[in-house]
Structure 1
Amino acid sequence: MDKNLKRMATVHRMQTTGLELFYKQGYYNTSIDDILKTLGMSKGAFYYHFQSKEEFFISIVQQLVFRKVYSMMIEPIEDQNNPFHAIETCLDDALQTAEFNEMDYGFVLANFMNEFNGRNEKIMKFLMDTCKVWEVNIVTALQRGKTDGFVERHVNSEGVAQYIISSYFGIRTLMVNGNCKILRYNYIQQMRNYFRSLSPVVIA
C-alpha cells in the first residue's frame, strides 16, 4: 500500500476510535492512554500523527463530526421544494436512527458543545462553526421557501433555524434515558404544528 494511503488509513482509524471514546466517556474523561490501549498503538506512533490530544480532537471535529452533521442534518434538506417538509423528515429520520441505537449517549455535536462551553475556546470555535453551517443551511432553505410560497414572508428565518437546532439538541438529550418512541412522536407532532403556523394560509 502507498505510504500516504497507509497513513490516511491509520489516521482515520485513530479518529474513529477516538470519536467513539470521546462520545461515550467525554473528552476530559478520556486520556490518550485510553485511546492507545483501544488502538493497540504506542505513544510514539500517536505523536507521529498528532502533537496533542487537543489537536487530535480538533481533527475529529473537522473530519468526522462535521461529516456526520452534514450527512444527517444538512444534506437531506438541500435543494428540496418544501423546506418544512424536508426539515421535518430530516429530523424524524435522525431521531429514528437514535431511537434504535443501543449505544446512544445523545447528539454528538450537542454533547461536545456542552462539554467545552466555557472550558476550551479553541475547540468550541470549531464546534460552533459546524453548528453555524447547519444554521445557515436551514436559513437558506427557509428563505428559498419564502420565494416559492411555502413560508410566510414575515417569518424570521434565523430565529426559526436557531429554534429548530436548540430544540433538537434538547430532545436528543431527553431521549438518552427516556421513552424514545414517545418522545420522538411528540416532538415531531409539535414541530409539525409549529411549521404549519409559519406556512401561508391556504383559503379553499
Structure 2
Amino acid sequence: MDKTLKRMATMHRMQVTGLDLFYRNGYFNTSIDDILKALNLSKGAFYYHFESKEDFFISIIQNLVVQKFYSHMIEPIEGQQDPLNIILKTLEDSLETAEHNQFDQGFMLTNFIAEFNGKNPEVMKYLKDIFQIWEVNLVSLLQKGKSDGFIARHVDSEGVATYVIASYTGIRTMMVEGNASSLRYQYIQQMRQYFKTLAQTEMA
C-alpha cells in the first residue's frame, strides 16, 4: 500500500476509536494512555500523526463529526420539497437511530459543547460552526418552502430553525435517561402539531 494511503488509513482508524472513547467517556476523562491502550499503539506512533490530544480531537471534528452530522441531519434535507415533512422525517429517523443505540450517551455535538464551554475557544469554534451550518440549511429550506407555497408567509424561518435545533438537542438528552421510545413518539407528535400551524396547506 502507498505510504500516504497507509498513513491515512491509520489516522482514520485512530480517529474512529478516539471519537468512540471521547463520546462515551468525555474528552477530559479520556487520556492519551486510554487512547493508546484502545489502539494498541505506542506514544511515538501517536505523536507521529498528531501533535497533541487537542490536535487529535480537532482532526476528529473535521473528519468524522462533521461527516456524521452532515449525513444524518443536513444531507437528507438539502434541495428537498415539502420542507416541514422532510425535516420531521429527518428528526424522527435520527431519534430512532439513537433509540436503538445501546451505547447512546446523548447528542454528540451538544455533549462536546457542554464539555468545552468556557475551556477551549478554538475547539468551541469548530463545534459551534457545525450548529451554524445546520441552522443555515434549515433556514434556507424553510425560506424556499415559503416561496414554494408549503409554509405560510408570516412564518419566521430563523425562529423555527432555532426551535427545531433547541428542541431536538433537548429530547436527545432526555432520551438517555430512559423511556426513549415513548419520548421519541411524544416529541414527534408534538412537532407534527407544531408544523401544522406553520403549513400553508395541510401536512401529510
Q: TM-score, normalised by structure 1?
A: 0.97
Q: Which amino acid aligns with 1:174?
A: M
Indicate if the aligned counterparts of 2:151 and 2:201 stay in contact, CA closer than 8 A: no
Match of 2:133 in 1: 133
Match of 1:62 in 2: 62
Distance in 2 (CA, whole Å) between partners of 1:62 and 1:152 is: 37
Distance in 1 (CA, whole Å) between partners of 2:96 and 2:155 is: 28
Match of 1:112 in 2: 112
2:41 aligned with 1:41: yes
- Which segment drifts farther, 88-97 or 112-121? 112-121
Distance in 2 (CA, whole Å) between partners of 1:162 and 1:121 is: 22
Deviation string, structure 1 residues 144-178 (Cα, Å, up to 9, x no partner): 00010011111111111111111111000000112
Q: Which amino acid aligns with 2:182?
A: I
1:43 CA displacement: 0.5
Deviation string, structure 1 residues 101-159 (Cα, Å, up to 9, x no partner): 11100111111111111111110000000111111110110010001001111111111
Aligned residues: 202
- 5+ residue gaps, structure 1, are none
Distance in 2 (CA, whole Å) between partners of 1:74 and 1:173 is: 20
Equivalences for 1:15-164 in 2 at 5 Å? 15-164=15-164
Distance in 2 (CA, whole Å) between partners of 1:101 and 1:150 is: 34
1:201 CA displacement: 5.5
2:179 aligned with 1:179: yes
2:198 aligned with 1:198: yes
Q: Which amino acid aligns with 2:46?
A: F
Paired residue secondary structure (1:35): helix
Paired residue secondary structure (1:30): coil
CA RMSD, Structure 1 to Structure 2 (Å):
0.9
Distance in 2 (CA, whole Å) between partners of 1:18 and 1:167 is: 28
Paired residue secondary structure (2:160): helix
Seq. identity, %: 64
Distance in 1 (CA, whole Å) between partners of 2:17 and 2:40 is: 11
Q: Which amino acid aligns with 1:4?
A: T
1:53 CA displacement: 0.6
Q: Which amino acid aligns with 1:172?
A: R
Distance in 2 (CA, whole Å) between partners of 1:40 and 1:75 is: 35
Distance in 2 (CA, whole Å) between partners of 1:180 and 1:160 is: 24
Distance in 2 (CA, whole Å) between partners of 1:150 and 1:118 is: 41
- Which segment drifts farther, 114-123 or 17-26? 114-123
Distance in 2 (CA, whole Å) between partners of 1:155 and 1:59 is: 38
1:32 CA displacement: 0.7
Deviation string, structure 1 residues 25-70 (Cα, Å, up to 9, x no partner): 0000000110001000011111111101111101101111011110
- 5+ residue gaps, structure 2, are none
Indicate if the aligned counterparts of 2:18 and 2:35 stay in contact, CA closer than 8 A: yes
Indicate if the aligned counterparts of 2:24 and 2:105 stay in contact, CA closer than 8 A: yes
Distance in 2 (CA, whole Å) between partners of 1:152 and 1:117 is: 37
Paired residue secondary structure (1:79): coil
Distance in 1 (CA, whole Å) between partners of 2:114 and 2:150 is: 34
